[in-house]
Amino acid sequence: MSAGHDRVRVGLVSTSDRASQGVYKDEGIPALEQWLTSALFNPLEFEPRLIPDERDVIEATLKGLVDDVHCHLVITTGGTGPAARDVTPEATLAVGDREMPGFGEQMRRISLEFVPTAILSRQVAVIRKTALILNLPGQPKSIRETLEGLKDADGKPIVAGIFAAVPYCIDLIGGPYLETRPEVVKAFRPKSAQRPPKASA
């Protein structure tokens, strides 16, 4: 299925003091790998990182994934609440060249469909060089809802997930052409930015 599709390198960063110490098993990175594999036709190279909630460690990890490993997309999970140890947004903003506030706004809108405490979430998104960095929640269910959006019983979107906008954003910053499986999430691009669909194998 991935023949002819651009290869995409994705950094996956889970920030958790206890998971990084082996107190419990991290669920964020496996959930992201599973969802991205199901949503994209592209061949994917994952660069997973499980690290503590330390701002300098998070900043160094994000910089390394973009500058040294050359990831096109970096997704973090965890560390975005109001607690003192939740410093992922600060670290993300510190390494970004430009903030993309619409992503955080839409993530909170999706989560508010389920819990009023969604307003406590501080997820942000930034561009660093030619990579998009996104903060996501830590729970697998919330990760899927945030990326995919909300659908009715017939599969019709009710609230758009953030990933619908990710491929075109990566186009605009000079990254690879991400192609999504429409039954999972339909990427939006202006007609002028769309490539012809691949011929069926």
CA distances 80 to 32, 183, 198, Å, are 17, 29, 38
pLDDT in tens, 24-53: 789 999 999 999 999 999 999 999 999 999
pLDDT in tens, 147-199: 999 888 887 878 889 999 999 999 999 999 999 999 999 999 999 999 887 64
Query: Taking the model in full, what pTM does it have?
Result: 0.93
Give 1's pLDDT tier (boundaries 50, 70, 90). very low
Work out whether strand 8-15 and strand 98-99 pair parallel, antiparallel, or are unpaired.
unpaired
- The domain spans of the chain are 8-193
CATH of domain 8-193: 3.40.980.10
> Mean per-residue pLDDT for 93-117?
95
Crossing angle between the packed helical segments 88-95 and 55-63, to the nearest 10 degrees: 40
Give 200's pLDDT tier (boundaries 50, 70, 90). very low
Q: What is the DSSP letter of 84?
A: T
d(CA 182, CA 40): 9
Work out whether strand 125-128 and strand 98-99 pair parallel, antiparallel, or are unpaired.
antiparallel
Map tokens 């107190």 to a residue.
Answer: 23
Dihedral class, residue 79 (left if φ above 0, else alpha if ψ from -120 to 50, else beta): left
- Angle at CA 20, nearest 5°, toward 162 and 68? 65
Q: What is the predicted pLDDT for the residue at 119?
A: 95
The token pair at 123 is: 């997820």
Q: What is the predicted pLDDT for the residue at 3?
A: 59
